[in-house]
Amino acid sequence: MDKVSVIVNCRNGGIFLHTSLKSIYNQSHDNFEIIFWDNLSTDNSLEIANSFDKRLKVFQSKSPLSLGEARNQAMKKATGDFICFLDTDDIFLKNRISSQINLMRQNSFNLAIGGYDEIDFNGEILSSHSPAIQSGNSFGKLLRHYNVNLQTILIKKSLIQRLNVNFDPNLELTEDYDFFMHLAHDSKILVIKDQIAQYRIHENQLTKKTYNIAAEEFLLVLNKLNSKFSLNVNYSDDYKYAKNKINYYKFIYSLTENSRIRAFRDIQPVTFAHWNFLALTMLLLLPVSNKKLLKILNRH
């Protein structure tokens, strides 16, 4: 049976940590190790981690690391045939690993994703999401619409080693996107539409605080991908659409800052590039608050 290394990076994640780790131990696929990388937590995270058996291996940073670099360090410790990730406030459903690994073996996939639920602080399901792509080569479609959740990714370790792909330690928000897209370019992706993990939404999430850097980082990643894979030639329409989406991230940030006029200025340059952007422009004409607009866009 293939061994799976589950990477768990932690910095003061104690509040949901026991539930998250227990969801790994409850997997129907039981040949796993947990690489628990603690990034100088000051809460009870280490105490919780050390309460589990030896399948959970604890490592600690000697100095503060970015999340990307901490994940890189954790991956170096992995001894499994496959690698996946679980953040300390999220949950694996029981067949999360087995549902993917069986199909990956049967169909010679090296990379897999799946659907996920969004849950609230108390674990109640808020919404359910399925990948927008089908199994196969879907790099271009991912440029247009990326809804891959890190908690659902399963990767053959040999693919990471062969492509020499790591998390960019300088990215704060888009390190997952950068990492996955570099793997996805030359890889067939196994897609499971069913929900296999739960992603917790709460006020302290990094993504809720950083719309102001999203546009800058997505542009940086697109430029990296273009430089490596000549997106402007090989995926010209998809690349153009992806670059236009930078204005969308600026638009969202302006709404979070309660500036509708600035939001209009952000989206105006691409309004007629695609009907999606035209729809955003039209939304600004609705007689509702900016907070309501963000809720309509599922960015509240």
Query: Mind listing the domains of the chain with CATH numbers?
Result: 4-203 (3.90.550.10), 210-296 (no CATH)
Specify the pLDDT at position 206. Answer: 45
- What is the mean pLDDT of each successive set of 10 residues along the chain, which is 300 residues long? 96 97 97 98 98 97 96 98 98 97 92 97 95 95 95 97 96 95 96 97 59 87 97 97 93 90 94 92 91 81
Angle at 109 between CA 57 and CA 87, to 5 degrees: 35
Q: How many helices (H) and strands (E) does the chain have?
A: 13, 9
pTM of the entire predicted model: 0.92
Specify the pLDDT at position 203. Answer: 63
Specify the pLDDT at position 103. Answer: 93
| Helix residue ranges, H only, the chain | 14-25, 45-49, 67-76, 96-107, 139-144, 157-163, 175-184, 211-229, 231-234, 236-256, 260-267, 275-283, 290-296
Q: How far apart are CA 184 and CA 57, in angstroms?
A: 29
CA distances for 122 relative to 94, 199, 220, angstroms: 19, 12, 36
Specify the pLDDT at position 208. Answer: 46
Specify the pLDDT at position 204. Answer: 52
